[in-house]
Chains A and B, each alone.
Chain A
Amino acid sequence: MKRARVLLPLGVLLGWLLCALLANVLPLSPNAIDLAQGFAPPEAAHWLGTDELGRSIAARVVSGARVSCGVGVAVMLLSLGIGVGIGVLAALAGGWVDACCSRLIDIFMAFPGILLAIALAGVLGPGLNNVVLALCAVSWVGFARLARAQTLAVKARDHVLAARALGSPPRFVVTRHVLPLIAAPLLVEASFVLAGAVVAEAGLSFLGLGAQPPLASWGSMIRQAMQFLLVAPHMLIGPCLALVSLVLASNLLGDHLRQLRQRTGDRA
């Protein structure tokens, strides 16, 4: 039972990642138009039915995983890099560097993230690269704040002091003595950022600011489905289930990692 609570979300997450990696290799045709088959309800040939152009929704959901996972992972890694860089730098440098970075973090924290992302994506113009850029601009702050606080705590520990006293170069101190100790909370944050980025990408695509047609994205598919809510409600099922399963898996995994950390933290 306990194992299932980890393995199930992990399986779902890996499953979608696999879909994302294999979407271009699998014999799917997410953009094949067949007007005669338009609005077909779910059946054997089309598991999730077809959309208004007769395209298979199942095929589009699988290839939509490419957009969701791609954007999610890219945003997670980029903002992790930027955020941890700034946070660790601020904590270790101290003084005016810390003051500047902290104010910058404060200002970014004062924005409702999704609104900033929407405005940025709108100004930069539609397209997935701009979506990644806009979401990174929002997501790095959480990592930076966390990394700064954690580094401040670790910095005062004896082994870091000893390493610095022995004359280890700062880069060595960071990579060998600081980063390994602050990795666990960052990992927890990363899983939530992944979930958040997947939702935000779908949201931007839903608003028409992300993936552009004919590229399949779960968000733009939901937008399409809403236009035909009265005619073909089945169009909503596929992309909604896909999105919720991926986000749920990511959130559950994050929760589990956090609990695990709290438990080991208590023992230490």
Chain B
Amino acid sequence: MNHPVCIIDDDDDVREVMSFALEYEGIQSIPFASAMQAEAYLSNLTPEYLPSLIFVDFMMPEMDGMEFINLMREKYPDTLGKIPMVMSTARLAEDTDVMPAGVLKLEKPIDLDHFIKIAKEHYLPSVKHASVS
């Protein structure tokens, strides 16, 4: 089993098709409809079960992608804060020019090949598996 790739996006269809595309490439994923849900789930994982990579949408209600990334880095600096993050965005380039350090930007509409390439590059094989309920 492998460390999954997280997908956080409030658009149901986008989330579903991103997960499906990864699944088809043999990459396990965990989708979340909000940053709050993702934090609630991820913060309970022990380090050996942490995801390989997190895709998070920029524009979401309650907590946006930027807030989520900052929260992960401030609240969980040694665990979740160290996971590679990719922020997807449909906003105009100038709105998201200033990205947190080390965060990749994935422009919407998403190029599928590019998305899969990033996921493959970061997907970590492991013998342990985080159970998803």
A, B co-complexed: no
Report which B residues bind A (CB closer than 8 A): none
Report which A residues bind B (CB closer than 8 A): none
